[in-house]
Every structure is written in C-alpha cells, then in structure tokens.
Amino acid sequence: ITIQISQIQETKILLTPQQQHYLLRVLRLQDGDKFIAMDGMGKWWLTHLKGETGEILELLEVKTELPVSITLMVALPKGNGFDDVVRCCTELGVTCIVPVLSDRTLINPSPQKLERWRRIAAEAAEQSERAFVPTILEPVAFSTAVNASTANQRYICEARGNYPHLTQVLNNLSGENIGEIVGEKIDEIVIATGPEGGWTDKEIEMAIKAKFQPVSLGCRILRAVTAPIVALSLITAACEA
Ligand code: SAM
C-alpha cells in the first residue's frame, strides 16, 4: 500500500481525511499495520498506522527512477487523449511533460485540465512506485518550448521523411553508447511529438535551428497519443536494457 503524503511532522505522517478513510475504512488497516508513504519528491518511508496518523519506521531506498532526465514536449491532442499520455509516460519514467500549442493544435486547455493532468501524474507515480512525480508544465507555444530547451540531446519525432530511427540515434550518442551514460552521468533528453495533423515545415525548421534532431519512430504513422508513449518506451528500453 503506497500513499502520497503532503505533510510530515518529525516522525509523524499527517493523513488527509480521504487517506484516513482509505486506510481505515476501505483497507481496514489497524494500528501497527504497515504502509509506504512517499512525498513525490524522492523520499519513501516505511510507516505504520498509529491512530489517524502514520509513524515513520525507516527511510526506504527507491530504485525506480531512470538515470536520465526525459522531458517530453507533446502537441496537445484532441479530447482526453492527453490523460493517457500523462498516465503512460509517468509509468514509463518521464521527468517533465510540456503540453505544447502548435500551428495545428486545435485546443487551448482550461486551467482545470492542467490540475487534472497533475493529479493523473501523481496517481500514476504512486501506482508505478516512482520516487518522483513528473512535473507537468503549463501549456506553452511550440516556439517558446523549443527555444527554451537546454537539454544536451534534443529530438523531434517526424512521421514523414527519411530520418534515422530514434533507437539508432540513442545508441550512437556522439560515439557513446547510452549504456555507458547510464549509471555514470545524468543525461538530459528532450523529445517532441506532434499533433494529429503533424508538424508544419516551419516548425520542423524552427526545431532544427534550436538543435533538435528529427527522428523516426518506424514506418507506420502513429496516432498523436501513441507517438509519445512509443518514444518514451524506446528511451526507457535503451536506458534499462
Ligand atoms: N498526418 C501527420 C503527418 O503526416 O505528419 C501524422 C501526424 S501523427 C498522427 C502525430 C505525430 O506523431 C507526428 O507529428 C509525429 O511527431 C509523431 N509520429 C507519428 N508516427 C511517427 C513515426 N512513424 N515516426 C516519427 N514520428 C511519428
């Protein structure tokens, strides 16, 4: 049982009424029963129930984070598709998600949507036992996002054109294998995926100017919701294989 906590006082974990209800009424935990409390910022504690609070027993070592930082820039898809992107990419280990407004993005989401995505990320991080909850930034114009990137590896997924496959590029990082980077140094990757109608030529040019390398995710055209999940899966596999 893992719960994300917001308040801690010395060795005491303060539980919200909803968490008390979940632990005491739904799961029927008793005093002394153990659960894990996480703060979403890297710390996990083995805890036991004491009244309506948790008492910390020990700090746990968590090894579920990737050795690279991955920022995903996703052109907002239609409907609730972004919910799936946030959920799946959190499970896969993303560090930061930037919803981008591109030339062919149809929507400008409400502040409630941003709250919803952050909630989904927190729940998915808890479910997949992540040490950190990924940051979901406010939606931003594509041009602002690409020009602000400082990551040392920058990729933009492009469905058309004869670009190298992402796995080829990841396995050949300026002569180094990503396996050598893993465990040694923290690397930063940023990867952008486009909207239903794809990127415009102008956007691809702008990205190339900002040192983003266009990459392919294979011969098939993936949906705007599928592409970021595939990109994350390939990076995760390259890190962990
Ligand atoms: N009609 C669009 C086009 O021709 O570009 C298809 C866009 S696709 C539905 C949405 C986004 O997913 C693309 O902009 C791209 O970023 C990514 N994508 C989909 N399939 C891809 C592939 N095979 N390789 C690289 N990126 C892909």
Report the atom number in ligand 1 closest to the C-alpha of 193: 16
Q: Which has the closest alpha carbon to 73: 93, 94, 100?
A: 100
Higher pLDDT, 79 or 135: 135
Q: How confident is the model at residue 199 (pLDDT cuts 50, 70, 90)?
A: very high
Report the atom number in ligand 1 closest to the C-alpha of 199: 14
Least confident of 41-45, 182-186, 228-232: 182-186
Q: What is the DSSP string of 94-108?
A: -SEEEEEE-TT----
Give the model's pLDDT for residue 166: 95
CB-ligand 1 contact for 163 (6 Å cutoff)? no
Q: Which run of H or E residues covers position 19?
A: helix 17-20
Q: Which residue has the CA at smallest separation from atom 6 of ligand 1?
A: 198
For the four alpha carbons of 224, 75, 101 and 84, in that order, the dihedral sign comes to positive
CB-ligand 1 contact for 218 (6 Å cutoff)? yes
Question: Please, what's the largest Cα pairwise distance for the chain?
Answer: 62
Report the atom number in ligand 1 closest to the C-alpha of 195: 10
For the segment 55-80, the average pLDDT, to the nearest whole number, is: 89
pLDDT tens for 22-54 read: 999 999 999 999 998 888 777 889 999 998 899
Q: Which residue has the CA at smallest separation from atom 4 of ligand 1?
A: 198
Using only the alpha carbons of the chain, give its radius of gyration: 20
Q: Which has the closest alpha carbon to 6: 37, 35, 42, 39?
A: 39
Question: Do 70 and 235 form a contact (C-beta atoms < 8 A)?
Answer: yes
Return the structure tokens found at 234. 């390939």
Q: Tell me, in angstroms, the distance from the centre of ligand 1 to residue 91's CA.
A: 22
Give the model's pLDDT for residue 182: 40
The complex's ipTM works out to: 0.98
Least confident of 25-29, 90-94, 98-102, 202-206: 25-29
CB-ligand 1 contact for 217 (6 Å cutoff)? yes
Place of tokens 């062919």: 104
Asked if residue 232 has pLDDT above 80, the reply is yes
Give the model's pLDDT for residue 186: 58
CB-ligand 1 contact for 78 (6 Å cutoff)? no
Q: Tell me, in angstroms, the distance from the centre of ligand 1 to residue 73's CA.
A: 14
- Read off the pTM: 0.82
Angle at 63 between CA 237 and CA 178, to 5 degrees: 35
Q: Which run of H or E residues covers position 167?
A: helix 166-170
Q: Which residues contact 123 (CB under 8 A, 6 or more apart)?
A: 87
CB-ligand 1 contact for 193 (6 Å cutoff)? yes
Other residues' Cβ atoms within 10 Å of the Cβ of residue 103 = 17
Q: Which residue has the CA at smallest separation from atom 13 of ligand 1?
A: 194
Q: Which residue has the CA at smallest separation from atom 18 of ligand 1?
A: 159
Asked if residue 179 has pLDDT above 50, the reply is no
